[in-house]
Amino acid sequence: MSFINNNPPLAGFFMPGVNVKSIATFSQKGGSGKSTLAVHLGVAAEEDATSVIIFDRDDAQASASCWAERRAADTPIVLKTPPSQLHAALKAGSAKGFGLAIIDGPPHSSPDAAAIARIADIILIPVRPTAFDLAAVGNAVKIVTAAGKQPLFVLSACPPRVPEVADARQALADFGEVAPVEIGERIAFSRAIATGQSVTEFDPLGKAAAEIRALWQWVEEKLQ
């Protein structure tokens, strides 16, 4: 698939010719779960009959692209697309009838962050329930609100039965909406990624798969 390679300016809130809905997984904290959510939501959306493109905006680690290389299935398509070309790529994706674009954000403090926050319809911020992750939330929120968007938080890699999860939920509620489903700290996520799969493929009846399906349902509602 050839995605356009010209360089239109980012169009901000109104992007002519862009009908495809878009999500960015975004944070200013490395390792929070951006790439894990991006690829899992991509597969969950496809299982729900939505065709998906994932834009890998992490040039250094390229986690989503590595996952796609290991993957037996051809979809979701994963592309490395510079921010200056995202608008054109979204337009091309719209013309080709894709239903969803997912932008997997860079690790932290990248100059791309503001552009990604402007271009995506909704911004999902994964947050682990730890003090360091919570401390980094303020910076991400500043960028997202400056782009005119409301941050949506996802509690990520939550250990079982610890009070920190509820505490983090309460702290995040001051900044924005928090997904009702919490993504547990589960080995199924890293095992699925290692084989180029999603947990819904690797262990379809497992708890991780149920969490991802529930998260996708919530995200889909937010996209309406």
Dist. CA 86–CA 84, nearest whole Å: 6
The answer to the question of residue 30 lying near ligand ATP (CB under 6 A) is yes
Q: Figure out which of the listed residues 27, 28, 32, 35 binds Mg ion, where binding follows CB under 5 A.
A: 35
Nearest to 91 by CA among 59, 124, 63, 119: 119
Residue with tokens 């862009």: 18
Contact map string, positions 55 to 74, toward Mg ion, x by CB under 5 A: ---x----x-----------
Dist. CA 175–CA 179, nearest whole Å: 13
What minimum distance in Å lies between the beta carbon of 36 and Mg ion?
Answer: 8
Measure the CA angle with vertex 220, ends 11 and 198; round to 5°. 105
Dist. CA 30–CA 37, nearest whole Å: 14
Dist. CA 8–CA 83, nearest whole Å: 10
Residue 221 tokens, joined: 């509602």
* Closer to ligand ATP by Cβ: residue 88 or 179: 179
Q: Helices 131-146 and 163-173: crossing angle, nearest 10°? A: 20
Contact map string, positions 56 to 85, toward ligand ATP, x by CB under 6 A: --x--x-x----------------------
* Closer to Mg ion by Cβ: residue 34 or 87: 34
Binding partner of 50, given ligand ATP, Mg ion, none, CB within 5-8 angstroms per partner class? none
Contact map string, positions 152 to 191, toward ligand ATP, x by CB under 6 A: ----xx-------------------------x-xx--xx-
Burial tier of 183 (Cβ tally within 10 Å: 0-12, 13-18, 19+): buried
* Closer to ligand ATP by Cβ: residue 12 or 159: 159
Spatial contact of 223 and 21, defined as CB atoms under 8 Å apart: yes
The answer to the question of residue 36 lying near ligand ATP (CB under 6 A) is yes
What minimum distance in Å lies between the beta carbon of 11 and Mg ion?
Answer: 26
Binding-site ranges for ligand ATP (CB under 6 A): 30-36, 58, 61, 63, 107, 156-157, 183, 185-186, 189-190, 193
Binding site for Mg ion (CB under 5 A): 34-35, 58, 63
